[in-house]
Amino acid sequence: MRSWLTALCLLAGCAGVHAETTVWQPAAGHTQLSLWPGTPPGAVAMPGPEKVDTNPAALIGGKTVTGVRNVSQPTMTVYAPQGKNTGAAVVVFPGGGFEMLAIDLEGTDVCDWLTTRGVTCVLLKYRVPSAPYDWHCDCRPHNFNLSMPSLQDAQRALRLVRAHAADWHIDAHKVGVLGFSAGGFLVAEVSTQFKLRSYAPIDAVDRESSRPDFALAIYPGHLATDSGKFNPHLPVSHDTPPTFVLQAEDDHVDGVDQALVYYNALKRADVPAELHVYPHGGHAFGLRPTSLPITHWPALAETWMGSLGILPAVEP
């Protein structure tokens, strides 16, 4: 299999990447909040300072894609809902193969959508790169213990959202997660490993639950082995939250088996789940609408969230 970065290069070519050694900042009016009061647990050395890459030649949905690399100080940015507040919140995990973060395509774009639906969007800038992922691994136990810094960041973000629920006008029982590609794996990880204490408690925030109330995994990766078997280190149980899964049959980066094995595991555990598989779409399309029907999946997600009572029910 090829990396997320390779897939993006194949989509539009990687020549002419513009790189700056700088820290990613959200648009005016939004502030990044540190996840940790001090040095993050399990800190690892980065190959260099944080930097932002934009390739003006690589367009998806008519727009460039911005990537953030070498994230050593994880943050969350809160985007308040527009119009009527539903009380729901979604923590968003951009993808990028645990090498970088597609911070706009699979981050700020998502918040632009969710906030217009009355949802508080929390964009997580989690630590990357994490331990390297072997796309042809034989799935020995250590091979899937890869995203611990990312899992720590994701669990901490969910706890922070619940700790600030009253301040941010959020219903602490309507906190979900949404992730793409590697971020889709992180969705599955926080949905199944919420009983795992991935770091020692630091403060009162860590008394909050890290279990999502609902989850959306969009073209997720790392859920199946090359032989099509389910990742055994994701302990799906009846307590795994209701989950929406979407993937394309012609996804040649992660492959449709990723969605199929996860959906089957959810159904075996009697977890409410909804699976959408489209014939065309490839990988790393985000939610920018194109002529491909799969790119209009947010409407399906809204209907699904309405069926759970997260959003107002959509009329037939």
pLDDT category at 227 given cuts 50, 70, 90 is confident
Q: What is the pLDDT of residue 130?
A: 76
Q: Is 144 a residue whose pLDDT tops 80?
A: no
pLDDT tens sequence across 51-74: 999 988 788 999 999 999 999 999
How many Å apart are CA 316 and CA 313, to the nearest integer?
A: 9
Q: Which amino acid is at 142?
A: H
pLDDT tens sequence across 191-215: 999 999 899 999 999 999 999 999 9
Q: Cα angle at 275 between 272 and 280, to 5 degrees?
A: 170
Note if the pTM is more than 0.85.
yes
Q: Which amino acid is at 309?
A: G
Q: What is the distance of C-alpha 81 from the center of its chain?
A: 19
Instruction: Assess whether the previous peptide bond of 293 is cis (omega < 30° from 0).
Output: no
Q: If residue 111 lies in a helix (H) or strand (E), which one and from where to where? A: helix 109-116
* Out of 3-7, 72-76, 282-286, least confident range: 3-7
pLDDT tens sequence across 160-185: 999 999 999 999 999 999 999 999 99
| Domain made up of 4-307: CATH architecture | 3-Layer(aba) Sandwich (3.40)
How many Å apart are CA 262 and CA 209, to the nearest integer?
A: 23
Q: What is the pLDDT of residue 245?
A: 98
pLDDT tens sequence across 29-45: 998 999 999 999 987 78
Contact 177, 187 (CB under 8 A): yes
* Out of 14-23, 58-67, 144-153, 298-307, least confident range: 14-23
Q: What is the pLDDT of residue 169?
A: 97
Q: Which amino acid is at 186?
A: L
Domain boundaries, the chain: 4-307
